[in-house]
Structure 1
Amino acid sequence: MTIKKSSPSFLIIHVTRIGDTIMGSAAIRAVARAFPESEITCMGHPKRFTILKLPFVNNLGAITKNRAPWLDRFSGRRFDYALVYGFDMALVKYALRLSKRVIAFRQHDETLNRQLYKMVEPPIIGSMPGVKQLLLLPEALDIKPDGFYLSYHVEEAERSWAINKLRTLFTEKSRPIVGLQIQSFPTKPYRDWPVDSFIELCKKILKSYDKTQFLLLGGPLDQDKIIPFKIVLGDKLHVLAGTLSLRESAAVMEQLDVYVGVDTGPTHIAGALNIPMVALYHCLHPSRCLQPLENSRVHVIDLPVLESECSSANNMSLISVDDVWRKVQSALNTPKIEEVSYTAGIQL
């Protein structure tokens, strides 16, 4: 199927968690590359849509399944194409109301499916990397991928803020800066590597790099997780968890010398920032599906359990501190690179 109009307008709706939102950046970039003169509007979860503040996205907005039935009833906004991710009927109906042609995965309602311009069969869970799964919707319009790597854009004002923020915490000579994401979200605690293991890793890092500064990142942490770090690391620990906005956190992460984290949203953002990183994956969510692709600065460790025998009862403590330390050493020897620059989807 070939799109005849040279600059059609696109609406892309992706209401999901942080990780899936950033994984969708490759699909958006593919559209922008194919139609550099097109206007692209992205809508996402109210707490996460700013992740998609990218040079090749023209407009951003928030949407929820509860707000969708009433949104833009009288705005006059219209689009040539809409790509809708997920299976919320209200979001698909919203897209059908505003767009001439809607592309989505097969929905649970056959009446709704018949109204789609292109209906894409969702792949079997775990059968392909998440990024490639999200690219199936633009591929239904014969839009080819523009790589499988993730995109995130830190603005200059954000970068300056992050640099100044870190200067208030320690001197510029205090390196390396190690970011730690020790907690996934509460509904999947089995993805967390033990706090004791993280602390042992920090001891090994300090033994080799005595000026290391450690940042605890992510959402709010209970004191029973923070205190053990404070006891061991003292003034080399800086607790930023729960104190920064999503974009502030990303700007700080860009300044890291290495990021070490469990499988959760900020780990996906780290993969989009082109910073050296070590990511730890549970066998229920293996790296072959979730790790950032086309990024040589990503070092992954999977829980050493066969997927066929895996369950949430398998503990991440099976990943040894020594294995993670070896990956951290490799990551610290991996040079950082500048972010890729884009204007309307065209690489400079």
Structure 2
Amino acid sequence: MHTPEHILIINVTRIGDTLAATPAINALHEHWPQARISVVGSPHHIEILQNLPGVVRVGALTKNSALFRGWLGAKHFDLAVVYNYDQALVRYALRVARHVVAFRQKSPAINRRLYRCVDPDAYPTVHITEHALKLPVALGIRGANGRILYRCTPDEVDRAKDRLVGRNFDGKRPLIGLQIDSFPTKSYRDWPVESFLALCRRMLARWPQAGFLIYGGPAEMPRTQWLKQQLGDSACLFAGLLSLRETAAQMALTDLYIGVDTGPTHLMSSFDIPIIGLYHPRHPARSLGPKDHPLNFSLDHPHDAAPSSEPQSMSDITVDRVFCQVEKALATRGIS
């Protein structure tokens, strides 16, 4: 394969897995800095890949729409890199690119057509960003950093500051972001909302001027609204009100983030801001936590070292244990 001038990245998946591929995208850019990279992904959150280095176009694609695209015209891409295991996406890549790299598919016929066919790692043996980097590695690109990348624009940050001023939150310090829910199908990963409340009250006792930004989507409203009601003027509820990019801009203004294992926690890990992720034994930090982050104070469930066949409750992560991490994290911001 000659040095590619046009590269297509196909990654139609959820927020966390979309972000997990950003180190791989960056590795391709750094290896072939002259290449023009296009990225297509889920229409629900492809926006989070805007403004990445080397990416010239971001577009929406679904598994269904891929069936009808790429049938006319020449192959516009020198190289396509495909994540996920949906054959419709790989077949689309084969129609539009001269060379295709993907994880091994169920179809031997498709695998034979791939320029590089990569065997996936069994979860959770490697971190999700390392897993995504296996595709660039198959192209001879090694030594890439596993840190998730995201880029806010100055205008987005300015609007985020305006939102804080409009809610009389611009003077709060420390300013702490909270993500209290993952999503319904994996609610076992959630730390009890009562534990979040106890932690916030303990922080307010230590830092009376602290402010809490509560993130989340519409589905989490019952729990996020309850927490806001309990915290009163010390909390600002953004759940269900902001886009992903708007949420990220608010995150960029905080002193600390505390959240369960979910997409926004991956998003927050792109900022050089202290982060405390809370991880269930089925999804440990070594596989899903902030990778190569300089201010990572995340916590695994206490039974992670010896997983049990019995269901494990996130309530086993105590408020005392999290508050200890809060003190360490805020000390890095000069807050004691």
Q: What TM-score results when the alignment is normalised by the length of structure 1?
A: 0.91
In structure 1, list runs of 5 or more residues that go unmatched: 337-348
Partner of 1:17: 14
Q: Which residue of 2 aligns with 1:329?
A: 327
Which one of 126, 131, 147 corresponds to residue 129 of structure 2? 131
SS of residue matched to 1:13: strand
Native 8 Å contact 1:284 1:307 kept in 2 = no
* 2:277 is equivalent to residue 259 of structure 1: no
C-alpha separation in 2, matches of 1:56 and 1:168 = 36
Deviates more, 1:188-197 or 1:290-299: 290-299
Name the stretch that deviates more: 133-142 or 68-77.
68-77
Q: Which residue number in structure 2 is paired with residue 211 of structure 1? A: 209
Once residues 303 and 84 of structure 1 are traced to their aligned partners in structure 2, the CA distance between those partners, rounded to angstroms, is 33
CA distance in 2, matches of 1:76, 1:114: 21
The structure with higher relative contact order (CA 8 Å, sep 6+) is: 1
Q: Secondary structure at the match of 1:261?
A: strand
Shift of 1:221: 4.8
Q: Deviation at 1:328?
A: 1.1
In the alignment, the residues of structure 1 paired with residue 302 and residue 56 of structure 2 have an alpha-carbon distance, to the nearest angstrom, of: 43
Cα deviation code 1:26-50 (max 9, x no counterpart): 0000000001110111111111111
Instruction: Report the counterpart of residue 160 of structure 1 in structure 2.
Output: 158
Distance 2:304 2:293 in 1: 25
The reply on whether 1:120 has 2:112 as its aligned counterpart is no
Partner residue, 2:318: 320
CA contact (8 A) 2:221 2:239 kept: no
State the alpha-carbon separation in 2 of the partners of residues 20 and 209 from structure 1: 36
- Partner residue of 1:182? 180
- Secondary structure of 2:184's counterpart equals coil
1:82 aligns with 2:41: no
Equivalent residue number for residue 44 of structure 1: 41
Aligned-pair identity in percent equals: 41
* Alpha-carbon distance between aligned partners in 2 of 1:287 and 1:312, rounded to the nearest angstrom: 20
After superposition, the C-alpha distances for 1:255-312 in whole angstroms (9 at most, x for unaligned) are 1111100000000000012221110000000000011111121111101114653468
* Cα distance per residue 1:157-183 (max 9 Å; x no partner): 111111111111124322111111000
Amino acid corresponding to residue 118 of structure 1 in structure 2: R
Deviations 1:37-88 (A, max 9, x none): 1011111111111111113211111111100011243465611111101110
Provide the C-alpha distance between the structure 2 equivalents of 1:140 and 1:317, rounded to a whole number of angstroms. 41
Query: Which residue pairs with 1:35 in the alignment?
Result: 32
Query: What is the identity, as a one-letter code, of the residue corresponding to 1:144?
Result: R
Given that residues 190 and 313 in structure 1 are in contact (C-alpha distance below 8 angstroms), is that contact kept between their aligned partners in structure 2? Answer: no
Separation in structure 2 between the aligned mates of residue 144 and residue 295 of structure 1, nearest angstrom: 19
Amino acid at match of 1:204: R
Residue 309 of structure 1: SS of its match in structure 2? coil
Is the CA contact 2:66–2:92 (under 8 Å) kept in the aligned structure 1? Answer: yes
What's the counterpart of residue 65 of structure 2?
A: 67
Change beyond 3 A, Cα 1:75–1:46: farther
CA contact (8 A) 1:284 1:310 kept: no
Distance 1:286 1:297, change over 3 A: same
Q: Distance in 1 between matches of 2:73 and 2:48?
A: 25
Contact 1:69 1:94 in 2 (8 A): yes
- Give, in whole Å, the separation in 2 of the partners of 1:108 and 1:222: 36
1:50–1:145 CA distance, 2 compared to 1 (3 A): farther
How many residue pairs align between the two structures? Answer: 333
Tell me which amino acid in the other structure corresponds to 2:115: Y
**What TM-score, normalized to structure 2?**
0.95
Whole-angstrom CA distance in 1 between matches of 2:281 and 2:232: 34
Unaligned ranges ≥5, structure 2: none
Of 142-151 and 205-214, the range deviating more from structure 2: 142-151
